[in-house]
Amino acid sequence: MPRKPLPRRAALLAAAGLLGGLLTVPAVAAEAGTPEACSAADADIYRPPDTPTAAPGAVVACRKADALPMVIGGPPLNAWKVQYGSTDGRGRPVSVVGIVVVPQKPWTGPGARPLVAFVPGTLGIGPQCAFSKQLAGQYQDAYEGPNIAALLNAGYAVAATDGQGYMNGQVHPYASGAEAGHAALDMARAASRVPGAGVSPEAEVGIWGYSEGGSGSLWAAQLARSYAPELNVVGSASGGIPTDLKQVASNLDGRFFAGFLVDAFIGLSVTHPDLPFDDLLDDSGHKAVKDAESLCAVGTVSRFPGARIEQYTKDGLTLDQIYALHGPDGATWGDAVEAGKLGAGVGTPGSGARYEIGFPVLQYRGLADEVIPAQMASETRRAYCSAGIRTQWTSYVGDHLTGDAQAVGDVVAWLGDRFAGKETKGNC
């Protein structure tokens, strides 16, 4: 049966999109106008328009963020919360929130101050989990403040997206490729439009993300040439990447981090509202959805350790049985999951590939990663190398959680080399 959306999700249906970029959105230049001053109330930043109309990268509202207590060890900075225009997976206008952070110290390097489009890792899908809220100290479950501090200490500006679905009345489309990639690229577009930020539209752009952010940053890399060709992207770093959601789901079901799988199914139900979902759930399933939609990362892991998807459905459906279910148009859950696979259809500029990438990419993982299967990470690396994309591969001794922190210095240095114009052939 087609899904009967929960009332809280009604505002999202206009923004529902296809996971993983089933349709590539034509490039759209950002609107010329921006607010004269960033004086919006904090509540207004997270209030979505009744009918989103802003062009991708246009600033809808902004406010100065006085302090970012989660950016520990960073230099004196200026920050702005920003609501900006983006598009869902089907190219329809949506609004997204993010944060622009710029060191107060003037940039002394050549050209304009570089900009890093940062895609945060898994934070949970509760509305309080938004990265911009967490950096500002409104809720403390984030773990990537040191990543932002390292970029600022290097002198770079940062444009960090919350990702779609963290505004009032919405649900974050967790693990949704096109939505994440668009949000990251449009956050980079919006940064130069924030009054007083001093970010140049000509700035060289790096992209960075880990875990869910690793997927989002790699999707941004794959979509950059077609969706935001005016951005001067010089490199993209992605770690702990869930590139094949079926493999990840099998690895999570019934294990300690099963909460991430619960979030992923909720995220797919947001972007694919016609697929059966609510009618599949028993009472415990409806309770699980309600809980997941109120929790951040630590709470999600704590709520669902060892959970199996089948325990939340009326008929005890396994993953494979759910994948076979279809909506009214014949598209199945399996189709939706497969559409999010990264590394398929990539190539170099002029190759005619669906996703042409003309800059180097860095991929990395922890050797003891218990969330992302090693085989899947190797397959993604091989796909990029086989396509001729300049790919650097690095591994660390840590697990999924510690691999992020272990890579910070190397990633910032790698991005610095790209901003300095240093050539790299990768290590395929």
- Name the residue type at position 311: Q
> Which residues, at least 6 apart from 135, have a Cβ–Cβ distance to it below 8 Å?
65, 68, 70, 71, 79, 99, 101, 142, 145, 148, 160
Mean pLDDT, range 152-161, rounded to an integer: 98
Query: Which amino acid would we find at residue 33?
Result: G
Please say whether the beta carbons of 64 and 195 come within 8 A. no
Residue 106 burial (CB count, 10 A): 8
Confidence class of residue 233 from pLDDT cuts 50, 70 and 90? very high
Q: Mean pLDDT for the chain?
A: 91
Instruction: Evaluate if residue 16 carries a pLDDT over 50.
Output: no
Average pLDDT over residues 72-82: 96
Question: Among residues of the chain, what percentage have pLDDT more than 70?
Answer: 92
Q: If you search the block for the tokens 């598009």, which residue do you land on?
A: 87
Tokens of 320: 């494979």
Q: How far apart are CA 107 and CA 176, in angstroms?
A: 35
**Rounded CA separation 178/342 (Å):** 11
Q: Using one digit for the tens of pLDDT, what is the confidence trace for 158-212? A: 999 999 999 999 999 998 999 999 999 999 999 999 999 999 999 999 999 999 9
Amino acid making up residue 37: A
Tokens found for residue 112: 């304009």
Give Cα 28 to chain centroid, integer Å.
Answer: 20
pLDDT tens across 253-292, in order?
Answer: 999 999 999 999 999 999 999 999 999 999 999 999 999 9
Q: Which residues fall within 8 angstroms of residue 42, CB to CB, at 6 or more apart?
A: 63, 81
Q: How are strands ordered across the β-sheet holding 157-161? A: 59-65, 77-87, 93-103, 157-161, 115-119, 204-210, 232-239, 361-366, 391-396
92-121 per-position pLDDT tens digit: 999 999 999 999 999 999 999 999 999 999
Whether the per-residue pLDDT at 1 is higher than 50: the answer is no
Q: In sequence order, which residues have a C-beta less than 8 Å from that of residue 160 and are 6 or more positions away?
A: 98, 99, 100, 101, 117, 118, 119, 120, 131, 132, 135, 148, 187
**What CA–CA distance (Å, rounded) separates 115 from 118?**
9
SS3 282: coil
CB proximity list for 109: less than 8 A, separation 6 or greater: 155, 419
Instruction: Quote the DSSP letter at residue 39.
Output: B
In this prediction, residue 6 carries a pLDDT of: 35
**CB-based contacts of 95, cutoff 8 Å, min separation 6:** 48, 49, 52, 54, 60, 83, 84, 85, 86, 167
Contact criterion met (CB below 8 Å) for 428 and 385: yes
Give the tens place of pLDDT for each residue, 133-150: 999 988 778 899 999 999
- Among 68, 83, 85, 89, smallest CA distance to 25 is for 89
Q: What is the pLDDT of residues 323-354, one digit of tens each?
A: 999 999 999 999 999 998 999 999 999 999 99
Instruction: Give the Cα separation of 293 and 285 in Å (integer).
Output: 12
CATH superfamily of domain region 7-244+340-419 = Alpha/Beta hydrolase fold, catalytic domain (3.40.50.1820)
- What six digits make up the tokens of 225? 């040439």
- Per DSSP, the three-state class of 249 is helix
Contact 232, 204 (CB under 8 A): yes
